Structure 1
């Protein structure tokens, strides 16, 4: 059962990574077009700043879900490592419960309320005329991913497979590892 969860989590993280890559590439092209149209064509595009803002919102929130899914976020593992192995599991479980509460209550539920209220109010973006609620969909969507990754991590803790939870991410392949600086001889 846990193996299946890990396969699903890995696939979701990989999918999110590709989405973030595409959104970042689109963001770069948008900003380059904004600079080009403003300074070379002398006719600034009205929409580029708004697109950049929207893309940055999505990159930040989906990127947070990717970092959480890869267990590469800041701070939590440092606290957990300070305890003996028995206490580590309990502290890690409490931390995951707090994160699950935050992801569920603030990101998923709060994001749902934000999206539904802005859609109900009919708010639209100024330059593109997009419904503002669609922009805010990044909040509950990222919350769902973080909550799913958190539940998978709690299952690892409860079932005794806590290597990824407590010791941080597994080593990456050789292509992904940072290069050690050369040793002076």
Structure 2
């Protein structure tokens, strides 16, 4: 799984898994349809259709949504329309691992705020400056991450230039 909501949860998920705790993500597979509408449509459609066909015909759920439902720990118990509708609205998927740093779009960690001065120079290593993801902050992805990296780079660069003229 990936995308904005997963990125926002990834630090907490990683911490839970590292601590040996379980992690689960619940996905709304039909965000444009309320649970009661889903249940009503499933009651009308089921008949002799297969599980996948009933979901496709009744609520327009595609193959990926059907596959995610089948992966859910709760899928076997959701045999009636109201239970299945609830599962469609909150499909719980266990998270067993993260993809690792080599596939990361952004990484947490780095230098804590108290380790750098206002110009982003390391307090313990004067003359060494840090910017962007070298700093410990949970960065949003996309344009916001880039903007934050550019802004901290500009600040660190200006501070480094000022430091160099004083040294």
Same fold, TM exceeding 0.5? no
TM-score with structure 2 setting the length: 0.23
Q: More strand by proportion, 1 or 2?
A: 2
Q: More helix by proportion, 1 or 2?
A: 1
Which structure has the bigger radius of gyration? 2
TM-score with structure 1 setting the length: 0.21
